[in-house]
Amino acid sequence: MPSILEIIGPSMIGPSSSHTLGAMRISKFAYNLDGGTPQDVIFYLHGSFQETYIGHGTWLALIAGLCGITTDDSRVAHADKIAKTLGMKYEFKPVDLGEVHPNTVKIFTTKNGEHHEIIGSSVGGGRIKIISIDSLRCQLDGEYPTLVVENSDVPGALEIIIKTISFSDVNIARLELNRESRYLKRANAVIELDSEPSDSVLNALRHLEVVKSLMYAKAIF
């Protein structure tokens, strides 16, 4: 039987990269969104993930991603011990997420009193799709730096946000918009960028009057 290193190591030898590399990349997206390892995490496993998460090493892959470990790091095999050292408590629970890919996980994290939830699917060959961030529907592959912005739904709000990004010579690769409620006057924008924004740009965005909240996730490598 192949070891976890053979399954999710550099050569990716094993029963399925979807259950290992893909799972780890979903978890790494959550790590990047949280800005580090959370104190508490619940992995809600859907479909084949809940059926084979022990045998295929999915559980170690998910833990490793939230510990900030890379796929070519030999410490992946000891991710559970590293999580304990970092003070991260975790548990796995089965869930039915409905009509989604069978290799799907919902990750609920708590870090410094803040809670975040992402839902991601491992779609084959290590590729992933992040389909929800804090209940906001999206379609992300994690390969671009990503901004998740909650903003006032008022004329010119999006233009102000885009100009703030563009002034720093950062190009927008893709943009998804969602109106929460026309009565609450709030909307969301998921913005993928061609390059990483500087801390000054992120701070400038956070201080815009039209921006209610902002999350940032670095690209997954």
Domains (ranges, CATH) in the chain?
A: 4-140 (3.30.1330.90), 146-217 (3.30.70.260)
The confidence score (pLDDT) of residue 52 equals 85
- Sequence-distant (6+) residues with CB within 8 A of 72 are 9, 10
Tell me the pLDDT tens digit for each residue of 140-167. 999 999 999 999 988 999 999 999 998 8
Tell me the pLDDT tens digit for each residue of 31-64. 999 999 999 999 999 999 998 888 888 999 999 9
Confidence band, pLDDT 50/70/90 cuts, at residue 14: very low
| Report field, pTM of the whole predicted structure over 0.95 | no
Helix 199-206 vs helix 157-166: angle between axes, to the nearest 10 degrees? 160
Compute the distance between CA of residue 21 and CA of residue 27 in angstroms, rounded to an integer: 10
Confidence band, pLDDT 50/70/90 cuts, at residue 183: low
Tell me the pLDDT tens digit for each residue of 188-206. 999 999 999 999 999 999 9
Tell me the pLDDT tens digit for each residue of 64-101. 999 999 877 888 889 999 999 999 999 999 999 999 99
* 3-class secondary structure, 75: helix
Length of the chain in terms of residues written: 221
The confidence score (pLDDT) of residue 104 equals 97
The residue with greater pLDDT, 202 or 9, is 202
168 and 201 in contact (C-beta within 8 Å)? yes
Give residue 137's identity as a one-letter amino acid code: R
Tokens of 103: 């290799």
Give residue 145's identity as a one-letter amino acid code: P
Q: Is 180 exposed, middle or buried (0-12, 13-18, 19+ CB in 10 A)?
A: middle
Task: Give the ranges where the chain is alpha helix by DSSP (H).
Answer: 4-8, 21-34, 48-52, 58-66, 79-86, 157-166, 199-206
Q: At which residue do the structure tokens 């703030």 appear?
A: 164
Q: Whole-number mean pLDDT of the chain?
A: 88
